[in-house]
Amino acid sequence: MPANLTPEYRDAERAFKEAASTPEKIDALQHMLAVIPKHKGTEKMQGELRRRLAKLKQESEHARKAGPSRGAPVYHLEREGAGQVALAGAPNTGKSALVRRLTHATPEVADYPFTTRVPIPGMMPFEDIQIQLVDLPPLDPQFGELWVPQAIRNADAVLVVVDLAALELLDEIENTVALLEKAKIALEPRPALPCGYVTKPALVVANKVDLPGARETFDAFAELYAGRFPAVAVSAETGEGLEELKRAVFGMLGIFRIYTKEPGKKPDLTKPYVLRVGATVADLAERVHKEILAHLKYARVWGHGKFEGQMVHRDHPLADRDIIELHT
């Protein structure tokens, strides 16, 4: 069976080959395992990746016990929820305040720069799913933490947070984009990327819209960047725009929710399966159990634009909030 490896996997593989340290190789391998297509054709590859990862972790542990490393610290955050979204930006744009407001995490919030020194994850509820937000130290050409770009590479998407009250607002976002480009992270789609680059979906979050004159500043900013970056105006202080932000984050992740039901029973609407846009009935069956996929005959679907209980086959594309009944 062909592996059908995705461009995202190929990018992660290139990052592994170009990694200069054991922690970077571990991060790249973990990313490869996270994005590799899960089917019979990749089972041997998955096994080999796990063996490599175990070996590197063992080497890393031996090195840690042998003595302190002179290199910069490297942090790896396990993905939780429906997706992992990293917050990037200049100092004092309000990243930590947003994470505090949107999740149950409690990063320190202060009026001085570089308050955040380590990654702080928090789970943001959106309707019936949770999305992981990661507060990171600021991107700064002189005082930034060297490991932050790798944490952003590992995330599914990026929120570029800017301060609408900043005198150098445009410099803030352009400096952030430039620092990510230097780390081979592209936030804008391109027909072709150089080797080692990854593209991340990005949304500009313009914070402090509650301040005097900030709404006018945002309107001019959004017009200037129209067609380049989508943007949403919010206030971590008052909560303005946060519901719009949640929905925008859900949309940028390229995911949707599917509910399942057993024949003759009501659907379970409390714990949806989260799949990538473009997934089919077969993809759902594999997520439920490989045995169900192997014996799948057909499915029935309830959803927008379909008649109740419509019979469909395994290659039928699914949509957000469809209810599926699998028949084997």
pLDDT number for residue 26: 82
Residue 112: pLDDT band (50, 70, 90) is very low
State in Å, rounded, how far the first CA of the chain is from the last one. 22
The whole-angstrom separation of Cα 237 and Cα 231 is 18
Q: Give the model's pLDDT for residue 20.
A: 67
Give the highest mean pLDDT range of 61-70, 133-142, 186-195, 234-243: 234-243
Q: Return the higher-pLDDT residue of 292 and 108.
A: 292
Return d(Cα 97, Cα 135) in angstroms, integer.
Answer: 9
CATH numeric code, 84-252: 3.40.50.300
- Judged by average pLDDT, the poorest of 3-12, 47-56, 62-71, 163-172 is 62-71
pLDDT for 95: 93
What is the model's pLDDT at position 111? 53
Question: Which are the contacts of 213, defined by CB distance < 8 A and separation ≥ 6?
Answer: none
Residue 64 CA, distance from chain mean position: 29
**How much is the pLDDT for 79?**
83
pTM over 0.85: no
Higher-confidence residue: 276 or 21?
276
For the chain, domain boundaries = 7-66, 84-252, 257-327
Mean pLDDT of the chain: 86
**Is the pLDDT score of 178 beyond 80?**
yes
> Coil, strand, or helix at residue 29?
helix
Please state the CATH superfamily assignment of the domain spanning residues 257-327 in this structure. Answer: Beta-grasp domain (3.10.20.30)
Do residues 84 and 103 lie in contact, with contact meaning Cβ atoms separated by under 8 Å?
Answer: no
Separation CA 291–CA 134 (nearest Å)? 36
Residue 110 pLDDT greater than 60, yes or no: no
The answer for residues whose C-beta is within 8 angstroms of residue 73's C-beta and 6 or more apart is 145, 147
* Confidence at 69, pLDDT banded by 50, 70, 90: very low
14-18, 47-51, 87-91: which has the highest mean pLDDT? 87-91
- For residue 1, name the pLDDT band (cuts at 50, 70, 90): low
State the pLDDT confidence band at 189, using cuts at 50, 70 and 90: confident
Q: Assign 186 to helix, strand or coil.
A: strand
Query: Which of 102-111, 265-274, 283-292, 308-317 is the least confident region?
Result: 102-111
Identify the pLDDT of residue 74. 59
